[in-house]
Structure 1
């Protein structure tokens, strides 16, 4: 699956949490969301708001809005990718959603933002690495409890 097709598929299946997703579908969509977020963050939000990075939290209107708009598709493709590995996808989708919600928590509460940020970032890195490793593994050969392997041609 090519990059454009993978992105279209993920966006079309934003609320479809069942069935498998191929590795290429997952990785192309992850690369797309990361690249667009980085462009919006560095090229638009920081320039528009003329912000300096000093540990203060702020809502970045373009980058964070993009993140929230692609959240359903990201959670769904992660769930479907884990199901392709024969792992319950709801765990992965829940982790993706929880990480994003926790990322916005300092904006909504009066917590020590410096310590929250570094505690959250450490947890985020550990959780994301675990999910990424699981998503990087090859598909379960043949048919599993969530459906057929999307890389194998039915005979």
Structure 2
């Protein structure tokens, strides 16, 4: 999946927590939100904050769909609140191959 297609997909599935997201869709979305956040923070803190709030729900949704692709529940995103160990585990899961077949098809 290409950059533009990934961004379009994530915005079109704004609050869709069902289904699966391939690695490229997830990582292109992460790159987009990071770069846009940095660029907007240069423009102003308020604009950057609004952008972060607007992209929070699609970020959670694509994260849940990415975990579904690895045959895990989207609720595993809550492990992000465990410093270091949770972060490492989630990054590993987000980077791992999708599982075929799985229960989220």
Same fold? TM cut 0.5:
yes
CA-CA distance at 1:95 after TM superposition: 5.5
Q: How does 1:1-155 map to 2 (within 5 A)?
A: 1-41=1-41, 43-45=42-44, 60-92=45-77, 94=78, 123=83, 126-140=85-99, 142-147=100-105
* Aligned counterparts of 1:126 and 1:36: Cα–Cα separation in 2: 27
Runs of 4+ in 1 over 6 A off after TM superposition: none
* Aligned counterparts of 1:130 and 1:91: Cα–Cα separation in 2: 10
* Aligned counterparts of 1:64 and 1:126: Cα–Cα separation in 2: 27
Q: TM-score, normalised by structure 2?
A: 0.89
1:104-148 Cα offsets, whole Å, 9 max, x none, are xxxxxxxxxxxxxxxxxx93x5543332221000111x220001x
SS across alignment from 1:139: coil
* Aligned counterparts of 2:103 and 2:73: Cα–Cα separation in 1: 10
Rg (Cα) greater in structure:
1
Structure 2, unaligned stretches of length 5 or more? none
May I ask how many residue pairs the two structures share in their alignment? 105
